[in-house]
Amino acid sequence: MKEISEREACDNYTGADLAALVREASIAAFRDLVLNPEGSPGCQHKDLKVSARHFETAFLKTKPSVTKKVEI
C-alpha cells in the first residue's frame, strides 16, 4: 500500500478517490478469482488476494477529483 500511495499517479487523489481505487482493485481481484478458467473449482473468499496488477487495472478506471487548478 505504501508503494502505491507514493506513486505520482496518486497525486491529487482525495480520500474518497483512494477508497474508490482500493474498491476497483478489489473488484478486479474478485473478477480474476471468479472468472479465471484455471482457478480451482469451489474457490473461497480466503483465496481472494489483491495484487499490484489489480491496482494497475484500478488506475485505468479511477481518476483524481482534484485538478491542478484546484490544487493547493
- Kindly report whether the global pTM for this prediction surpasses the value 0.85: no
Cell of 68: 491542478
Q: Which amino acid is at 3?
A: E
| Residue range 12-64, pLDDT digits in tens | 888 899 999 999 999 999 888 888 756 555 566 677 889 999 999 999 999 99
Asked if 25 and 55 touch (Cβ cutoff 8 Å), the reply is yes
Cα–Cα separations (whole angstroms), residue 35 to 31, 40, 44: 6, 11, 13
3-state SS, 13-64, equals CCHHHHHHHHHHHHHHHHHHHHHCCCCCCCCCHHHCCCCHHHHHHHHHHCCC
